[in-house]
Structure 1
Amino acid sequence: MADARLKVGMFILATNKMDDKALSMETLLANYKAQQKVERDFRFLKSLEFLTSAIYLKKLERIEALLMIMTCSLMVYAALEHKIRTRLKQNAPFYPDMKGKPTQSPTARWVFLTFEGISPFGFQEHRMVMGI
């Protein structure tokens, strides 16, 4: 039983960085797991909501400029998502996800969708919120 547990609990991760002092196994595993978040974020850049599939550029300078703008917007999105999750942990322990289940790490996109349809409305000096 203990031998089977060792085999099931094993995770093989290969690297060409052989210096244990420069990169510990814990750091190596953390870096490997962090790749998934980066790839998920770049998948967001290719989604239909970001409208990148409808843009056709030929000049290298324009492609580089668009990539820079997209990367900057991804950084803002990631910072906003981090802020949402940090404040959520401080003030309210859970937020409903798409299925209505409580979560501590909602995506910024889901929070944006929650506020869809809510509009500020101003009339003279009075401000109201519509669509709640």
Structure 2
Amino acid sequence: MQADVRTRTAACSCRGVELVLAGEPHRVYACSCLECQRCTGSAFSYRAIYAESAIVSRKGETRTWRRTGTSGQWLEQEFCARCGSVVLMRAEALKAAISVSAGCLEDRDFPAPQLLHWAKRKHRWLCLQDIAQSRPQ
């Protein structure tokens, strides 16, 4: 890895799981689908897509849970076996990529979402007008 490449560390709530990532994400997005609302316990998920090859190191025990999305393809959440924080997600549609929970990166300057998926499911109070919305779902 080059010395000038930025790294970020994603960690779960108990700090038992850490994932070190090199470089910048391909895209940062928010999703207001009901599954993301349930997963996060919030109004939306906020995630960053990285190439799987961006993983420099990882530690800690994780578990996975897989579901089928509305597209019929699988989505898999990877979470800390101890505290349950969802650190990353994999999706059948994301070839050789991972989607990292942006809140786990603890970076106040992390880029804002560029895209909002499932905008029609967002909470009415949620104002994300400067973010592009994906096609209607």
TM range, normalised to the smaller chain? Answer: under 0.3
Q: TM-score, normalised by structure 1?
A: 0.21
Q: Which structure: larger Rg?
A: 1
Question: Which has the larger share of helix?
Answer: 1
- Structure number with the bigger relative contact order (C-alpha 8 A, sep ≥ 6) is 2
Q: TM-score, normalised by structure 2?
A: 0.21
Question: Which has the larger share of strand?
Answer: 2
